[in-house]
């Protein structure tokens, strides 16, 4: 079997559109997951004990079950509870809920890694809880959790391939259709691998650049 370059060129525009769908779903899902994860971590830290128990159960369930199973339950099981979604909204929601559980644990670990003395200093200065979060916890935590946040964003990027199972018209779905229709499985897998490798490299390099810029803001345990 050889690589059919002409076939790749002929389906290029269609694959670019599918790649755009993949990027939009990934970026949208990752952004929503990031915000939800931060709110979950914040609620677990400052909310009542009962809320912490509920959120811990949510995190444990999401982290303890495969994303594929969650996606099936959401898309195919949702109508049984009155939740009927098209493939794209279902994929976006599933990716957001899945990512939020992991992001919340990253943020929670970041909160706990900040020395208690820094928070107490803010309290002594008369800062409110909101001011302490905004002026002390978030800036310090950002430096600490940026690398794992980038890693999790990369994981979510690769998880977008699973969305093809519920017929989301992203790149994996389109490439799989291309391979089946033309028996061009080598070309299909090659294109798919190159696309995800390129995006992972871009995401990783941007993360390293941001980490380098933030590294000057060091915080000690003193």
Element (H, E) at 145: helix 138-159
CB 95 within 8 A of CB 159: yes
Quote the tokens at residue 35.
């915000």
pLDDT in tens, the chain (222 residues): 556 666 666 666 777 788 888 899 999 999 999 999 999 999 998 889 999 999 999 999 999 999 999 999 999 998 898 888 999 999 999 999 999 999 999 999 988 888 888 877 887 888 887 888 877 888 888 888 888 999 999 999 999 989 988 888 788 887 777 766 666 677 777 778 888 999 999 998 998 888 887 776 554 444
Residue 221 is predicted with a pLDDT of: 44
Question: In angstroms, rounded to a whole number, what is the distance separating the alpha carbons of residues 150 and 164?
Answer: 23
Residue 220: predicted pLDDT: 42
What proportions of the chain, in percent to the nearest 5, are helix, strand and coil?
85, 0, 15
What domains are there in the chain, each with its CATH number?
5-214 (1.10.3720.10)
What's the pLDDT score for residue 209? 87
């Amino acid at each position: 079997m050889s690589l059919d370059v002409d076939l790749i060129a002929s389906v290029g525009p269609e694959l670019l559109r599918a790649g755009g769908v993949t990027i939009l779903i990934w970026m949208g899902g990752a952004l929503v997951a990031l915000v939800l994860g931060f709110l979950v971590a914040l609620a677990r830290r400052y909310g009542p004990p009962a809320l912490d128990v509920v959120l811990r159960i949510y995190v444990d369930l999401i982290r303890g079950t495969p994303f594929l199973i969650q996606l099936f339950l959401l898309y195919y099981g949702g109508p049984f509870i009155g939740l009927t979604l098209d493939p794209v909204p279902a994929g976006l929601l599933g990716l957001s809920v899945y990512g939020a559980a992991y992001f919340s644990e990253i943020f929670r670990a970041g909160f706990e890694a900040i020395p208690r003395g820094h928070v107490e200093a803010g309290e002594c200065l008369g800062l409110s809880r909101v001011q302490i979060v905004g002026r002390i916890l978030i800036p310090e935590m950002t430096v600490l959790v940026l690398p794992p946040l980038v890693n999790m964003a990369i994981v979510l990027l690769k998880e977008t391939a699973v969305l093809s199972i519920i017929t989301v018209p992203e790149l994996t779905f389109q490439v799989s259709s291309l391979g089946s229709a033309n028996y061009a499985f080598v070309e299909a897998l090659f294109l798919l691998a190159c696309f995800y490798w390129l995006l992972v490299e871009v995401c990783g390099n941007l993360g390293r650049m941001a980490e380098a810029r933030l590294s000057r803001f060091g915080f000690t345990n003193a």
